[in-house]
Every structure is written in structure tokens, then in C-alpha cells.
Amino acid sequence: MTVVMVGTYKGLFRFASPDRVHWEALGPVLRGTSVHTTAYHAPTGTLFAAANSVFYGASVRRSRDGGETWDRGGEGLAYGADDPERVTAVWSLAVADEHGPGTLYAGVEASGLFRSADGGDSWAEVAALRRHPTHEVWDAGFGGKCLHTIAVDPHDPEVLYVAASTGGIYRSGDRGDTWTPVNQGIRAEFMPEGQQYPDAGQCVHKFGLSAVQAGRIWLQNHGGVYRSDDAGRHWARISEPLPDDFGFPVVPHPRRADAAFVVPLTSTLERWYPEERLAVHRTDDGGQTWTRLDAGLPEHAYSGVLRDAFRSDTQDPLGLYVGTTNGELFASADEGASWARIAERLPRILSVQVVEGDPFA
């Protein structure tokens, strides 16, 4: 079974399929609550949701039955009483030990990182990140001052990456005890000439680590798609052939090192699709060339795709899932060659996550 978890501005919607062709819509849950992202821990069958209530605050809630029922989340997901910043939302989740007891990371607004070593019962800040001297240049982008991406290196569990907007991408080689900004070569085009390559402060929108090539990182910046082959020490801009260099998500292919997917948006203020047609673009050669994939995707489309609203599964051929800001969900079961609409008229889609297996068991 494949279940697509769709986090929206007003709740979590779920779509299940035995074959990735026929989809069943399950009732919305966490109704009225903004679900910025979700994560699934298969060994314990636990679904985690970054559930952000405008009234009652931010939380990471847990379900053991595929989202039918939820707990109220653990304790400690807050900055101290004397801290000048507050935790107003959870933006990102990462399960660090896929086969272990379930170490979790949560990225929050105002940008910071929390860790739970007990499956989400209790949380503590990974304080070294906000203590980094470059923290003072972090600021809020339009979406807020958020730590939106967390990734544990699949080739080295000691290595952790995070990205904040604005702030940029940071690397830790010791599970978060110390941090290094790895933004050199990524352009901050919103800075004056001569200051566009700072150590930190870039508006990185998303990054993804290659599961098959150690040190390879794909990154969608506010302007430009980038690739690093040395764990972020150097970056190559690879978006020249794309119709625009703006966008939010980037999805590495889980098996092919030179393949990745992006969804360009116009860098002018519309922030909808170039040529007003939703299209995914795939590279098969590390970003030298890109193939436009739009069969079955809508024309005259005036929406966007946010940073967590594009995911792949791990099946062969690869499945892809795209959610839009006007509440449409599209799926491809053939690596993007063709697409079908799974859902429409949902609230604004913030996140898409794929659960493979049966989370309802």
C-alpha cells in the first residue's frame, strides 16, 4: 500500500492506493490545524505531524493508527522563558534512526532545531546552532523565519544538515554539537553587489541529499538550483537551462545519482508556473540538461508548489507526488512521464509525504 499524507493549512488529508493508480480518499484529520509536514517511523508504525494551531501553539503530534487518532505531543518544544525568540511553528521533521529507537529532529520557527531521543515524548533544543556567530544574520523570508529542512547523511549518521530561510545551509559532523555554514558559492541575489556571497544569510528554499552518492547535495535556492559533490564545500549552479531559477522543492532520485526533480516558478512576483502550466523538470545528467514533464498537468494554472509539497516514493518505476497551493494533488507512477490528478479543492497544500506499507495496521 502507498499512502500519501497531504498536510494543508487546515488539516491532514490522506490518500491510499494498492497500485498507485486507484486512490481512496480518507477523511481529513487534525481538522483546522496547519500541518506543515509529516514523517513516518516504520519500525514503530508512528506517524508524526508538525501540527501548528493558531490558538494553542506548535506541536509534534503522534498517531499509531495511520492518522485516525492523535496524541497531544511531547513536552519541551519551546525556547526558554527568557529567550528573545518564541517557537511559533514546527516546519520540518526528520527521523534519524530509521531502524533504531527513533531519534527525531524538529525544525521550528523562529529558526532553531530540537531533538528528541525518546520518540517525541520530550524535546530539547540543539542549542549550538542558534549559538553560531552567524545566527545574528538570520532573518525572516516571506514565509517566516523558519528552519525548514533537516537531513541526516545516509552515508554517515554523525553528519547532519539543516537549512533555514534566511540563514542558509549548515553542516554538523558531530550530530549537532558544532556547526559550519556551507553556503560558499550560493548567491544571495537580494544583497548589494559585492556582498552576494556571504558566509551565511542565503535564502535556501530546500535541499536534498543523494542516497547513492556520498557528499552529493541538490539545492533549490531562492534564485538558482545548485549541486554540490563535496558535502557543501563547493557549489555548481545548474539552473541555466530551466525556464526560471526560482522554486521551492528539489527531489533527488533515490537510486540514480545524476537524477533530480524541481518545479520552477516565476521569479517575478506571481510565483506561479512559467508559461502558466504546471511542469516538473527532471535532470538525468547532474543538472547539465533538464527534461520538461507536464503530460497530464494543468494549463492556465495560477498556483505554486511549496517546499515540502513534492516527494517521491522508493518504488520502481519511481512514483512522484506534487501538491499545489490551490489544493490539487498530482501523482506519477512512471518517474514523471505522465501525471494524474488524485485530489482537488483541498486547502492550500503545505506538505506531501509518502508512507509505503500499511500505517493502519
Instruction: Give contact residues for another protein (rule: CB under 8 A).
Output: 9, 32, 54-57, 72, 75, 78-83, 86
Using alpha carbons, select from 194, 196, 162, 165 the residue that is nearest to residue 181.
162
CA dihedral 37, 64, 101, 321 (to 10 degrees): -40
Residue 113 C-beta: closest distance to another protein, Å: 17
What DSSP designation does 78 have? S
Of 56 and 197, which has the nearer Cβ to another protein? Answer: 56
HSE toward the beta carbon, residue 118, CA cutoff 13 A: 8
Residue 56 C-beta: closest distance to another protein, Å: 4
Of 19 and 82, which has the nearer Cβ to another protein? Answer: 82
Helices (H), 90-228: none
Instruction: Report the C-alpha gap between 211 and 330 in whole angstroms.
Output: 24
Read off the amino acid at residue 79.
Answer: Y
Cell of residue 320, nine digits: 512522484
Residue 86 C-beta: closest distance to another protein, Å: 6
**DSSP state letters, 86-129:** ---EEEEEEES-TTSS--EEEEEETTEEEEESSTTSB-EE-TTT
Query: Could you tell me the CA-to-CA distances from 197 to 78, 99, 133, 232 in Å, in that order?
Result: 32, 39, 17, 14
Of 32 and 317, which has the nearer Cβ to another protein? Answer: 32
Of 125 and 313, which has the nearer Cβ to another protein? Answer: 125
Residue 79 C-beta: closest distance to another protein, Å: 7
Decide: 263 and 279 in contact? Cβ < 8 Å. yes
Of 81 and 361, which has the nearer Cβ to another protein? Answer: 81
Residue 257 C-beta: closest distance to another protein, Å: 42
Read off the amino acid at residue 85.
Answer: E
Of 80 and 133, which has the nearer Cβ to another protein? Answer: 80
Residue 72 C-beta: closest distance to another protein, Å: 6
Residue 27 C-beta: closest distance to another protein, Å: 17
Is 133 exposed, middle or buried (CB count within 10 Å of its CB: 0-12, 13-18, 19+)?
exposed
Of 55 and 142, which has the nearer Cβ to another protein? Answer: 55
